């Protein structure tokens, strides 16, 4: 997921720091079984299908649940990063919107950057970089359903250049994501157009 556009911007001047020293890692909201939508619920839930490393977090049509228990849930905030901690793809999805009473399913870790050290937009890039992906591949536990523990994620070595360089890398990364989304949209439209033309041609030949 790392692009060539961002590779050369990272200078390894200082040794990397562990993710746990640059951000807070919080478990997703505990749930029992599948999420059943409760229209009267007061909390919305982000599930795996709502997160994508390129598209980010889709907040449309999130199921609702009712709050329970005395402990206040960890509500998502703008700038948080959702990390998919199990499955065949480990990645981070950046929350770029202000949210109201939204939690993450337990398949996620919520990463909250220490903004004095690292910009969340930069951290979102690093979590999806090839170096981070290699780390996940080497450190994932389990075979049938690989997963990353919180301890393993907190130990992820993160390059932390100065904030100005982080901002530059994050900007280039966001541009590359927008470019990718536009390209995918164009390809989908092209496929639809070609399919329609071929379909019409086959009918006219009868």
Q: Which residues contact 196 (CB under 8 A, 6 or more apart)?
A: none
**Strand 102-104 vs strand 43-46: parallel, antiparallel, or unpaired?**
parallel
Q: What is the pLDDT of residues 59-99, one digit of tens each?
A: 888 999 988 777 889 999 999 999 999 998 999 999 998 88
What are 26's strand-pairing partners?
110
Residue 4 lies in a domain: no
DSSP string, 75-118: ---TT-EEEE-BSS---EEE--S--SSEEE-TTEEEEEE-TTT-
Q: What is the distance of C-alpha 169 from the center of its chain?
A: 17
pLDDT at 164: 95
Q: Above 70 in pLDDT, residue 6?
A: no
Containing domain of residue 87, as a range? 17-204
Residue 31 lies in a domain: yes
pLDDT at 162: 94
Residue 62 lies in a domain: yes
Residue 2 lies in a domain: no
Angle of helix 120-127 relative to helix 130-139, nearest 10 degrees? 60
| CATH code of the domain containing 184 | 3.90.220.20
Q: What is the pLDDT of residues 134-152, one digit of tens each?
A: 999 999 998 788 999 999 9
160 band by pLDDT with thresholds 50, 70 and 90: very high
Residue 136 lies in a domain: yes
Residue 103 lies in a domain: yes
Cβ neighbours of 159 (radius 10 Å): 20
Mean pLDDT of the 125-135 span: 95
Q: Which residues contact 116 (CB under 8 A, 6 or more apart)?
A: none
Residue 83 lies in a domain: yes
Angle of helix 163-204 relative to helix 120-127, nearest 10 degrees? 60
Number of structural domains found in the chain = 1
Of 3-12, 144-153, 155-164, the range with the lowest mean pLDDT is: 3-12
Distance CA 120, CA 117 (A): 10
Q: Above 80 in pLDDT, residue 4?
A: no
Distance CA 115, CA 129 (A): 20
13 band by pLDDT with thresholds 50, 70 and 90: low
User: pTM to 2 decimals?
Assistant: 0.82
Q: Above 90 in pLDDT, residue 189?
A: yes
Distance CA 65, CA 120 (A): 28
User: How would you class 186 by CB atoms within 10 Å of its CB: exposed for 0-12, middle for 13-18, buried for 19 or more?
Assistant: exposed
Residue 12 lies in a domain: no
Q: What is the pLDDT of residues 176-188, one digit of tens each?
A: 999 988 998 899 9
175 band by pLDDT with thresholds 50, 70 and 90: very high
pLDDT at 11: 57
Output the CA torsion sign for 162, 163, 169, 172.
negative
Average pLDDT of the chain, as a whole number: 89
């Amino acid at each position: 997921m790392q692009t060539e556009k961002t590779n050369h911007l990272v200078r390894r001047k200082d040794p990397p720091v562990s993710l746990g020293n640059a951000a807070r890692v919080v478990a997703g909201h505990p749930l029992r079984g599948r999420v059943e939508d409760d229209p009267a619920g007061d909390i919305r839930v982000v599930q795996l299908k709502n997160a994508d490393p390129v598209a980010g977090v889709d907040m449309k049509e999130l199921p609702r649940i009712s709050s329970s228990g005395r402990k206040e849930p960890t509500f998502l905030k703008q700038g948080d990063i959702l990390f998919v901690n199990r499955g065949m793809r480990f990645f981070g999805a950046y929350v770029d919107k202000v949210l109201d009473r939204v939690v993450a399913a337990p398949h996620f870790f919520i990463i909250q950057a220490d903004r004095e050290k690292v910009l969340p937009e930069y951290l979102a890039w690093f979590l999806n970089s090839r170096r981070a992906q290699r780390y996940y591949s080497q450190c994932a536990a389990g075979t049938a359903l690989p997963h990353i523990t919180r301890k393993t994620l907190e130990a992820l070595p993160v390059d932390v250049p100065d904030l100005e360089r982080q901002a530059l890398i994050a900007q280039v990364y966001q541009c590359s994501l927008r470019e990718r989304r536009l390209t995918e949209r164009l390809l989908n439209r092209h496929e639809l157009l070609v399919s329609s033309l071929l379909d019409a041609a086959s009918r006219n030949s009868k």
